[in-house]
Amino acid sequence: MNIYKTVVGSLLVMSSLHANDSLSSELSHFAGGAVMAGGITAVVDVYYPEYRSDRGMIGFGISSAAIVVEQGVEFILNGNAKGQLLDVVSHIAGSAFGVYITDRYILTPVIKDCALEGKYIGLVMQHSF
């Protein structure tokens, strides 16, 4: 239940902020997308193991859908389609980056079953010099 309160509170705060189209604004949308998508990917990995093989797509999809809805509401309230579209693109690019890093390097590799390549798993090896 706390996660829902956090998400709703974040959306309320985000909708009351007014950003510009500067580089720092778009970098903040990129970073927000990376963190949001990576967090959702990690939540799916921990709490929904039956969807573990699709955790990256789920994280990316939810994060991307959330920003499209939020910026759609922002457009309806304030206009500025170009600015809202720029925010959406920045967030979605960040989401893709966050999911890739989280899925490939932070979380435990997943055994994949590919029709063309068969079953495979990623492996990390470490050696101290």
Q: Which of 109, 112, 107 is CA-nearest to residue 43? A: 107
The pTM (predicted TM-score) of the whole model is 0.70
Six-digit token pair at 4? 């829902």
Residues written for the chain: 129
Predicted confidence (pLDDT) per residue in 65-108, tens digit: 999 999 999 899 988 888 899 999 999 999 999 999 998 888 87
Predicted confidence (pLDDT) per residue in 35-57, tens digit: 999 999 999 988 998 888 899 99
Residues of the chain by 3-state class (helix, strand, coil), percent to 5? 75, 5, 20
pLDDT band at 25 (very low <50, low <70, confident <90, very high): confident
**Residue 14: is its pLDDT beyond 80?**
no
What's at 64, amino acid-wise? Answer: S
**Residue 4: is its pLDDT beyond 90?**
no
Phi, psi (deg, nearest 5) at residue 80 = 60, 65
